[in-house]
């Protein structure tokens, strides 16, 4: 059985970093990750460059991208302007996303939840007009740092709304790492059932050290596509609560050991993480890249 | 439903540190951890002080210990000499442990597996003669860095041997963090069944970022007692592969969110971890203690 990992390191990973990675370096990372077996990769987000300066070169990244066949290059968009930019940049897969939390939506997108749902409808419509594959996302689906708990029924209603609009994929995000494997597993089981033939993606953070337990629970619930970041990139030593995604190589290792296939070359990805550690000057949250290359120890 | 966490920070945690914590400081930590709700705590190991200098004060720790009622103070012993020292030190609960890996046993205890099993029998017998509760442990039960995979049937045979000797508790250790939630969950289900009324303890490391997924799998398999270390102590920045136990406060948080009770005061434990971070001068692997105290964010 197959598990697919969508690489988020160059988007969710980089956006919380204290430094800005040059466009050419980003493109090198994209090429190396794809060479390591990555088949889906988020390469940019089309948000306001004043808010996320690390993503200001979204258009430049897309313009210089050397595409490999069979690889999905994705961009994150949070409003209609973002869709327009993504279309103009020539992407054929957009991750359109809104928050399940009203407070988070107002703070992050300056939209109430009702306004965000309406905006989301326009985003999907415009993407569809341009024959772009739409991944419909729900942020903060398992908890919000402003609101606390997010009700499962509320998330399921949003899932239904996304599905009604005809999204090509459904993506739920534990943006804050507040999900727990029991509740998350139960909710994902219902989401997978409602989605039917529409693929379901899960985006996990390891903020409270529950990311990999949530991964296991979601596998049991039938989820087969996960967002990950090489090295667990995204953990910022200056903002302790902003911990990274689950790490690509650690996730691949976990699912391989369970008998799933990913096509990923773990040592190659670990080497990329190791290099990023050197660039940043501090260890990333991923564990595996710190072990690989230590010839004294055996891996399974 | 209840989950019990046995605190290992002052034994498994300290023994890999580059510094030695003074006896008085250890005793302060014991008192503070017990005040935070810890009901079981490993306070020392009776191993050769030349091999593990951080544990050279095992007798001194026991002699000055102020015991609280209802708390189990435990010592780790790996040979008959250790049992004798534990008995002389006045402990009434000993963790007697041998390895499932022949190579590990030979390197760590200078005994073949057959010799170790025989030695274990004597250790249990001597403990029983002194009316000491015996926790019978199996190290490297889910993988060995020298041997790689450890066969499940081999572990089950050792479990049967431990049970035949009349151990009061059974403890399996993923000493290397090589277990995966599928295999570990399946094996623990069989162990719990064989153990019957004998309590089963699981000792997990987060070396490959699978510790908390393994915790979740073991909960599903019916395990209710886990070894943990405050802050995930044990991760040593100078030996990257020696990652710590799963963190006490992160584990408590995970199981509380799933509906289990632990009696633990998470902010109190997080404060102890924070202080250890300051003492050591580098972050511990635990995530939660880095979040708690940040008043801008909500916890569930």
DSSP state at residue A12: I
Position A12 scores a pLDDT of: 86
Strand partners, B77: B96
Position A238 scores a pLDDT of: 53
**What is the band of A20 on the pLDDT scale with cuts at 50, 70, 90?**
confident
* Domain boundaries along the sequence of chain B: 4-291
Q: Read off the pLDDT of each residue in A48-75 and give the average, rounded to a whole number.
A: 94
Residue B292: closest CA among chain A residues belongs to which residue?
Answer: A241
Position A108 scores a pLDDT of: 85
Q: Check if B249 contacts A (Cβ < 8 Å).
A: no
Burial class for A203, CB neighbours closer than 10 Å (0-12, 13-18, 19+):
buried
Lowest mean pLDDT among A237-241, A242-246, A268-272, B264-268: A237-241
Q: Where are the alpha helices (DSSP H) in chain B?
A: 23-35, 58-64, 80-88, 102-109, 113-129, 152-164, 181-195, 211-220, 248-257, 266-280, 288-291
CA dihedral B287, B58, B178, A175 (to 10 degrees): -10
Q: Check if B156 contacts A (Cβ < 8 Å).
A: no
Q: Where are the alpha helices (DSSP H) in A57-151?
A: 58-64, 80-88, 102-109, 113-129
Q: Do B298 and A208 touch (CB under 8 A)?
A: no
- Provide, as residue numbers in chain B, all residues whose Cβ is less than 8 Å from the Cβ of A242: none
Query: Nearest Cα to B208, choosing from B143, B274, B256?
Result: B143
Biggest alpha carbon–alpha carbon distance for chain A: 57
Q: Do B181 and A209 touch (CB under 8 A)?
A: no
Q: Check if A151 contacts B (Cβ < 8 Å).
A: no
Q: Is CATH 3.20.20.70 the classification given to domain B4-291?
A: yes
Q: Do A216 and B216 touch (CB under 8 A)?
A: yes
DSSP state at residue A236: B
Burial class for A295, CB neighbours closer than 10 Å (0-12, 13-18, 19+):
exposed
Q: Is A120 in contact with A94 (CB distance < 8 Å)?
A: no
Query: Nearest Cα to B91, choosing from B40, B53, B161?
Result: B40
- Provide, as residue numbers in chain B, all residues whose Cβ is less than 8 Å from the Cβ of A178: 299-300
Q: What stretches of A78-236 adopt beta strand conformation (E)?
A: 93-99, 133-139, 169-174, 200-204, 225-228
pLDDT one-digit tens code per residue, A98-122 = 999 999 999 888 999 999 999 999 9
Give residue A137's Cα distance to chain centre: 10
Q: Check if B212 contacts A (Cβ < 8 Å).
A: yes
- Provide, as residue numbers in chain B, all residues whose Cβ is less than 8 Å from the Cβ of A204: none
Q: Read off the pLDDT of each residue in A279-286 and give the average, rounded to a whole number.
A: 88
Position B296 scores a pLDDT of: 64
Taking the whole predicted model, whether its pTM rises above 0.90 is answered as yes
Q: What percentage of chain A carries pLDDT values higher than 90?
A: 83
A234: pLDDT strictly greater than 70: yes
Position B283 scores a pLDDT of: 86
Position B18 scores a pLDDT of: 78
DSSP B135-188: EEEEETTT-BTTTB---HHHHHHHHHHHHHTT-SEEEEEETTS---HHHHHHHH
Tokens 């490993």 belong to residue: B42
Q: Is B205 in contact with B175 (CB distance < 8 Å)?
A: yes
Q: Read off the pLDDT of each residue in A132-160 and give the average, rounded to a whole number.
A: 96
CA dihedral B61, B63, B65, B69 (to 10 degrees): 130
CA B13 – CA B77 distance, rounded (Å): 16
State which fold the A8-291 domain adopts: TIM Barrel (3.20.20)
Query: What is the set of active-site residues of A?
Result: 236
CA distances from A257 to A18, A221, B100 (A): 35, 18, 20
Tokens found for residue A118: 């309406």
Q: Is B21 in contact with B244 (CB distance < 8 Å)?
A: no
Mutate which of B208, B232, B258, B260 to test chain A, going by most A C-beta atoms within 10 A? B208
CA B142 – CA B155 distance, rounded (Å): 9
Burial class for A22, CB neighbours closer than 10 Å (0-12, 13-18, 19+):
exposed
pLDDT tens digit at each of 300 positions of chain B: 999 999 999 988 888 787 889 999 999 999 999 999 999 999 999 998 888 888 999 999 999 999 999 999 999 999 999 999 999 999 999 999 999 999 999 988 899 999 999 999 999 999 999 999 999 999 999 999 899 999 999 999 999 999 999 999 999 999 999 999 999 999 999 999 999 999 999 999 999 999 999 999 999 999 999 999 999 998 655 555 557 899 999 999 999 999 999 999 999 999 999 999 999 888 889 999 988 876 666 776
Tokens 């019957």 belong to residue: B196
> Tell me, what's the ipTM?
0.95
Q: Check if B209 contacts A (Cβ < 8 Å).
A: yes
Position A73 scores a pLDDT of: 98
């Amino acid at each position: 059985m197959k598990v697919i990992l969508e690489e988020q390191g160059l988007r969710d990973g980089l956006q919380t970093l204290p430094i800005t990675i040059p466009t050419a370096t980003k493109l090198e990372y994209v090429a190396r990750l794809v060479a390591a077996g990555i088949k889906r990769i988020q390469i940019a987000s089309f948000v306001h460059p004043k808010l996320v300066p690390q993503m200001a070169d979204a258009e430049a990244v897309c313009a210089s991208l050397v595409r490999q066949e069979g690889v999905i290059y994705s961009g994150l968009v949070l409003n209609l302007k973002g869709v327009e930019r993504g279309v103009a940049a020539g992407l054929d897969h957009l991750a359109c996303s809104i928050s399940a939390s009203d407070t988070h939506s107002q703070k992050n997108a300056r939209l109430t939840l009702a306004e965000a749902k309406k905006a989301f409808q326009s985003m999907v419509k415009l993407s569809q007009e341009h024959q772009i594959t739409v991944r419909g996302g729900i942020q903060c689906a398992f908890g919000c740092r402003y609101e606390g708990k997010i009700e499962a029924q509320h998330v399921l209603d949003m899932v239904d709304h996304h599905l009604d609009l005809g999204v090509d994929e459904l993506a739920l995000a534990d943006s804050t790492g507040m999900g727990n494997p029991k509740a998350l597993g139960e909710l994902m089981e219902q989401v997978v059932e409602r989605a039917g033939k529409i693929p379901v993606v899960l985006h996990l953070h390891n903020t409270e050290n529950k990311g990999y337990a949530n991964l296991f629970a979601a596998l049991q619930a039938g989820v087969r596509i996960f967002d990950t970041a090489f090295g667990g990139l995204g953990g910022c030593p200056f903002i302790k609560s902003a911990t990274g995604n689950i790490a690509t190589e650690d996730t691949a290792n976990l699912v391989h050991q369970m008998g799933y296939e990913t096509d990923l070359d773990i040592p190659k990805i670990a080497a990329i993480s190791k290099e990023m550690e050197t660039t940043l000057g501090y260890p990333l949250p991923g564990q595996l890249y710190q072990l690989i290359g230590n010839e004294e120890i055996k891996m399974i």
